[in-house]
Structure formats: C-alpha cells, structure tokens
Structure 1
C-alpha cells in the first residue's frame, strides 16, 4: 500500500482537434469554471487534424486565469529541449506560473521521422530524454555560473545562455511504462504520468517500486515524485465495470487508487462537457472526502508538500496542539461587504453553548468538523469562479445562456438551500460513508443538544434567503440580454450573493464545528 500523502488534484485531458478550433478552447474554459485544477492536451505535431499544442496552450492561457496547463505529454523528438525550455518558461511567466511540463521519449516513429525527427530505439529514447532533462533544467537555472553545457549523445547544447527562469518550479512529469523510463522518473523527474488504459493490473504497484528504489538511489525521497494518472470511463446508472458506472463508483475506485497506489492527480480523458461537469461536481469532491477521511483516521500519511517541482525548503514546524484538544479553526468573516443590500440582520444571530474546556476530541471527531469547512471551501471557490464567469459574460467571451448552464452545474446552485442542505450534491456521492445532508445532520444535532435549536433555526432561515439570492442571479442573467445596462444588475446580484453566502458560511462554521465534533454527524 502506497500513499505518498500528496494533496489531490483533478484535471482534464483534451483532444486539440482543429475541425472546430474554438471547441477545445471552450472545453478548457469550462474545465476551469467547474473547478478543475489542471487542463492537459495531447501533443502529436505530426497529426494534421490537430492544432499545435503549444500554440493552443498559449491561447488557452490567455482565456483562463487559474487552471494549470500542460501537454500530455510533449513530443520531445520534434521539440528541441533548449527551445522547449524557453517556451515553457515564457508561457509560465505570461500565465502567472500555471504551466507544467509533461515529457515523453517518443512514439509513432514513422510519423516523427516523416516530420524530420530522428528515429530512436527504446533505449536511445530514454537516454535522449535524460539528456533533454539536463538541458531544460540548466536553461531554467539562471543562478548557476556559465552557460548551458550538455555534450550528449543526442543533444549537444554547449555555451547557450541561461534563462528565462519560469515563474514557479515547473514540474517535469514523465509518461513512463517500461523499467528504464520508470527508473529515470524516480531519479530525475517530479512526476509519473501514465494512462490507466495502457496498464495491466499490478503495473501501478510495480512502477511505484521501481520509481521509489531509483529515487532513493539518487538521494531523493519517493514522495518527491508525484503520481498522476490519465483515466477514461463512462458514467452510467449502474456499475458495469471499472470506471463504468455511477459517480459513487468512480469516487470509490479513484480513492482506492489514491490510497493503495499513491495516485494524487486524476486526469479525465474526455471531450464531453457533461462528463467534465460530473467529474468536477460529483467525483472529485467525493474522492477528496474519502481520502481525507482515511488519512485522518491514521491509515495513511499526512499530506506531503506538492511535488510539482524541486522540493521546497522545509518550513519551521508549527506548534502541535495538545493531544485531544480541539484544533479545527472556523473560517472567520472578514467583514467585507460589496452590496448595500442586507438580506438579514447579522446582529440578531443566536449563539450556541460554549464548549466544555475539559472535553477532549479524537482525530475522528475532528475530521467530521473539518469536513464542514472543506465543503464550505469548495463553495467559496465556486463563488470565485462565478465572478470570473460574470466577467467573461461582460467581455463577450461567454453568452448569458452558456453562463446559466455553467452555473447550474455548480454545487452552489444545485444545493437545495430551501431544504436546508448545505452539501446535498456533494454528499450524494459519498452516502456509503457519510450522510451530511441537513435533513439528517440538523435533526441529529437538535436531538444531541437542545441548546443548539435557536442556531439551527436561524441557519435554516438563512438557507431560504440564500436560495432567493441565487434566484436573483439567475434572473439577472436572463435580463442581461434584454436591458440596456444588464451588466450592472448582474454584478450587483453576484455581489449580494457574495455578501450573503460568505457571511452565512462563516456563521455556520463558528457555531457548528464544535457540536459536530462532539455529537458526530448522524
């Protein structure tokens, strides 16, 4: 069992088809809007039906603001490493540090040779890739003295000036399957990026062993290498096979890959917008919950620093709370209000009973309380994406109808606030482990401590108000196309939603994290 403790991330793997050039750009924008961490693209420069991947990535970088971008994986035989290093660094600088580098030794050699590349044997391809990594890292290392110097069997770069340096420590991820490539991944790379469809049962474990052994031989820790995985499948009402079934099944299978095989980045290969929405809205948060629960229970290591690039220097350790103390910290209300409208009077909010200072809390108790904050963090992130989407509507990049479609896929919109459900869509996919719907949790808390009743009543009232504010946003989007200054109304509606939602989430955390830890979830 291998869990390297890396934070989980979720990505999309898109086909750069050129028949409808705007479609792949739109899919990348959609991936950002629904919450993906990463968008990747095939790189086959010899394929005339495809857009050039690096040109496409530059265009997508200009249309997005938060999602990271990578080729999956870069075709090294047709991209000289010194030039590639400067391309990566330049786009990383222009995008604000959002580029990673997937690399492959090469395949489809007849097509590569037809484009002017050199045909290599498998062993030659691995050696050429190792030299290329040297070249790339030296180009990026602007603090070293002298020029780039790699006088290799396949790549000779002698005296080239260094730079530019990327905006962040760009991760080099290798698409590796065979022992020599896996060993190179362990000794030199920041990530392993295979495709699940090309692996046989047990291959992930065998690959991890080779990578781990090679990392140790090179004086590195196995956790220095992030484990990424391209996955494909089909959503269906009932299970019909691996990654072919309902979102609950997907979540459990991917969580098992994370906990048993150390995979921490799952990249969905699909060009179907609905698949991307479901993966982001239902599968990704459920996998996070399942993995976090197992790690909190002590069956897996605590989260390690991301291994996107060279390991950062260790920060001073924070003081550890006394064993059994309550260490879950609610998100404070920053007091910022963008709208002049007040949906409720915050000064009239009731408070619950003070915690018992003599009580102790187990890690399991605190994991339940932390879950509430994690769910809320997802809603806060969606609020940020909503603002981005509104700006795209204002700039004419997205029409109002498309914006409504995107918003309707968000958890923030799908939650049945009128039922007092702060995470129904999220929790629907983890019902085999936890049921956090308000219609279960709130009554449970009422039964467990009658002193919480005024707080729970108020929270349910606020849920109704949030529903009404969300409806106002939807009406503003509908009106956007028919009124003179629809953008002003739309921004005002989103500002009111921001004030309302952030205030409510902070209040709910302040009042419920300790009772949830004390009383449990259901």
Structure 2
C-alpha cells in the first residue's frame, strides 16, 4: 500500500533546553502561529541541560490554544506507566484534548540506569512496552468494570482504580525500528514514529510491510496506524540533497513520501524560528496541494485508486478526531477578555466561479486616541468586473493573503495576552519581549512581504516560475493599483514604528513605578493600526491577486 489516505499534518520537534527556558516555549507558540498542527519535545530525563519534558508540555499547553502536544518519544523506563497514564489524561483534560502519547522502549541505557531505571535488553524492552501500553489503556478505560489488572514481568498494576479518562481518544505512537517493535506497532499502536535520519533506503517500505502484516494478523486495518516521520534538513536557494534546497523542493519530496511511503505527519526537528516559519507557511500548504491533486487524479482513475479505498482522516487516523481548525476555540469556563481574539479558521480553498473570497471587515473599533494616519485619505483601486469568473486556483491565491493576515491577527491577540500576563506578574518583561521578538510581525518582511515570500514559492512549485516580489508585479500588471500600493507601503513603515513603540513601552515599564498604562496604550495603538491596515489591504488586493496572480 503506498498511500494510507490520512489527512496530512505538520509539526515541530523542539529541544527542551533549560539555558533559556523561555526559548522552547516561544518556539512552541511560534509553531502554532505559523499554522503547524503539532509540537513535540525530546524526553531525556537523565539530561541535566534539558527541562523536564512533561513539565514543559504542561506550561506550553497553557500558552497555546490549538496545537497538539506530544513527547517525541516518552522515556518509558523512567516513567511508570500507571502514573504516566494519569499524567497524560490530566494534561489532555486541561488542554481540551490536545495531547498525544509518543512512546519508546528505551535507549541511552547508561543514563537511564544512572537515574534509577532498569537496564533492559531489546527483547525485554519490547515486552515492557507491551505491558505498559496495556496498563495505560486500562487506566484510561473508565467504562470497564473492576480495577486495572496487568501482572507483567516488568510492569505490574493489579487493582489500581481506573481513570481519569482523557478528553479525547489519545493516540499512542511508537518510535520503532526493529522487527519486534514494528510488529508491536501493527498490533497495538495508533502510529509509527521513526526519524528519517535513522533510516536507510528501503526501511520505510520494509517497516510498513511489517506493520501492515502484524495489523492484519491482529484483525486490524493497516489504515488504523498513522505513519509519522521526524525529519531535518536545510533551506537553500538551490537543491543540493534530500530536504536541502528551496521550499518547493521540500514540498515535492514530502509529497512523494506521502504518496509512495504512506507518511502523513511530518515533524521538523529544528530550533530555528525561520525554519519553522518556512515549514509552516510554505512547505506545509504546498505539500497538501500536491498530495490533494494526486489523490484527486487517482480517484478519477479507478485502476490507480488506493486499494484500501481510504479517505483522509485526522491526526489519529479516525474521522471523529479531526485536528481542531479554529484558532479561537475558547476553553470551557474561560471568560472573554475583551481583547482581540485569534481569527476563526477560514476555508483553505474557494471553488471556481464568481469571486467568493471575503475580506476581513474593519469593525471600526478604536482603542487609542492617537491616529497614525488619515484613513479617509486612503485611495481605492479599480472596481472588479461584475461578470468575471475566477478559477479555484486564482481564488486560492487571494484566500492565502487572508490566511497570512489571520496569522498576524492571532499574533496581535497573543501580544495582548502577554501584556496582561506582565501586568498580573505571571511573566516578566524580558520573557514578553522574547516572545514578541519571535513573531512574524517583528521580522523585516512582514504582511505582504510574508505573503509574497511564502505564496510565490508555492506557485513556483506548480508552475516553475521565478519568484518575484508582489508589489512590482501588481504595479506592472495594473497601473491603476499604483496609488493603493504606495499607500500600503507607507503604512508598513508606520506600523513598524508602532511596533517599536510597544518594545520601548515594555522597556520603560521596568524603570517606572506605573508604566502599565503606557504599555497598554502602545498595544492599543498597535491594534488600531494593524487591524485597520490588514482590512484595507485585503479590501483592495484580494481581487487583484486573484485576477493578476502573484508572479
């Protein structure tokens, strides 16, 4: 089987270093901001340079809203399975169902033994993992009668009370390489999670075959096991090797891994914010488009349809557990703050026909008495042709601008949240500045610069055209847009100055006895300028982008 039909997901694999504890937290928040579905951390409890992974995940869960979290993978020999089961269920309940469980049989035995763990042989490790999975699932199964009853060779839980049940059906993903571990994955697990760097050519196909065979022998469908893959690589202007080249090369290679090897979740091992941005904003959407197009082509040709007849499903491989798409989901019991909320997710594609991309309206709310510009002086572009129709691809280009802006709106909501956390003493000013400095809006190329940098590369994937800047192209293609573009460029400079004002207010807050009023005023001004600007930009450019393209 080449393609198991699972919906694609993308994540980050972060180092839980403790030299700067705010850094892994900021990178996790950035992963959510750039649209990744999953954040994972190494789990090496014997490593003194690392934060404890489960403590870190709890902190990150409280700082994020949408992204799912997992250890990659949990060090089982140092985490008793019954206690681990309750830890997972507790964090899943606290995070509104966003925790998954990666498990490994154990490695680095010297470190494990030094921390009090028992050194196991490979065969013993597989048996211990089998027993642990049974204990974990019995703890979670609160509908069964009686207590937990597993009297294993390495793990024992006899009479332990069941519960709590997690908020959702938590998936167990195994880091497996050898035949016995791969067979265990097929029999009992919900996912296979190896690292590409540890695989030789042909290992993915061999691993899939062993998992599929074991799944069938256990009466399961191979599609019940999601195939995940930790990857690493380098972004470069030209291709040099696998996952070493431009974003469009990455997308093509990942799409091949989905269609030929069945991989449906790609987890990038990188602590570089720029890598995470490009992976989320460029590689992920381009890979999804390539896979969707090929799946549609295969569906149209019965002779090439996948033999399982599967349909894309969510992170767990089951349709009832689709990944959450709303960036605004409020946790139960969470009060409204009155601050800007993260925008609701928008459709990834708009069908062919009349222009249907809806610009985000300006709600007219202004929190600051300061005015950076005269909104009434903004020029307008040409009116759309009333009878023109647009292809789905043209509309997707316009929709992408709105989606990029939604990411910036989400970042604005997080800035408000950071300021309130400073005000209540939950974090210090340095931590807030550190988080803000990882945001897309603090980079030199933001808003339309970000749009052009990401979208044009996606277009390149399909049309093999040279990436060019958006504004010069629109000016050439329709000179009537020149006044609008000039105005947008001037507003970009003004917003940069407003962002600098927020930073100055954060610094001043430390040196004054009552600087919170000034800090809130700076953030209010940022809200007014940024939200107004994004709405204006969408109003004037979504139709020209669809009509003229971005290249």
State the TM-score bracket (shorter-chain normalisation): 0.7 to 0.9
Distance 2:116 2:430 in 1: 46
Alignment of 1:451-470 (within 5 A): 456=485, 459-470=488-499
Is the CA contact 2:150–2:156 (under 8 Å) kept in the aligned structure 1? yes
Q: 1:438 aligns with which of 466, 470, 477?
A: 470
Alignment of 1:292-371 (within 5 A): 292-295=288-291, 297-298=293-294, 304-308=312-316, 311-312=319-320, 324=353, 326=355, 328-333=357-362, 336-344=365-373, 350=380, 352-354=382-384, 356-357=386-387, 359-371=388-400
SS at match of 1:102: strand
Alpha-carbon deviations, 1:361-388, whole Å to 9, x = none? Answer: 4332233223222322332233233334
Change (3 A) 1:49 1:294: closer
> Post-superposition shift, 1:152?
5.1
State the match for 1:384 in structure 2: 413
State the match for 2:521 in structure 1: 492
1:105 aligns with 2:137: no
1:517 aligns with 2:546: yes
Change (3 A) 1:335 1:262: farther
Alpha-carbon deviations, 1:249-306, whole Å to 9, x = none? Answer: 6666556545654545444445xxxx42122233332212321442464556999443
Alignment of 1:150-165 (within 5 A): 150=150, 154-165=154-165
Alpha-carbon deviations, 1:465-515, whole Å to 9, x = none? Answer: 433433432433343344443332222222222233233333433443343
Change (3 A) 1:240 1:24: farther
SS at match of 1:83: helix
State the match for 2:303 in structure 1: none
Is the CA contact 1:414–1:425 (under 8 Å) kept in the aligned structure 2? no
> Post-superposition shift, 1:86?
0.8
Alpha-carbon deviations, 1:437-487, whole Å to 9, x = none? Answer: 33244225525xx4x566555544544443343343243334334444333
Distance 1:311 1:325 in 2: 31
State the match for 1:23 in structure 2: 19
Deviates more, 1:340-349 or 1:285-294: 340-349
State the match for 1:508 in structure 2: 537
How many residues get paired?
505
Q: Which 5+ residue runs of structure 1 have no aligned equivalent?
A: 17-21
SS at match of 2:320: coil
Q: What's the TM-score once normalised by structure 1's chain length?
A: 0.78
SS at match of 1:312: helix
Change (3 A) 1:370 1:235: closer
State the match for 1:201 in structure 2: 201
Distance 2:160 2:172 in 1: 21
State the match for 2:181 in structure 1: 181
Distance 2:212 2:386 in 1: 46
State the match for 2:341 in structure 1: none
SS at match of 2:19: helix
> Post-superposition shift, 1:199?
0.8
RMSD: 4.3
Distance 2:497 2:48 in 1: 50
Distance 1:187 1:453 in 2: 62
Alpha-carbon deviations, 1:405-426, whole Å to 9, x = none? Answer: 65444321224579x6453554
State the match for 1:19 in structure 2: none
Is the CA contact 2:11–2:40 (under 8 Å) kept in the aligned structure 1? no
SS at match of 1:423: helix
Change (3 A) 1:10 1:48: closer
1:476 aligns with 2:505: yes
Is the CA contact 1:171–1:190 (under 8 Å) kept in the aligned structure 2? yes
State the match for 1:281 in structure 2: 277
> Post-superposition shift, 1:201?
2.1
Is the CA contact 1:172–1:309 (under 8 Å) kept in the aligned structure 2? no
Change (3 A) 1:362 1:323: closer
> Post-superposition shift, 1:85?
0.5
Distance 1:333 1:204 in 2: 50
> Post-superposition shift, 1:307?
1.6
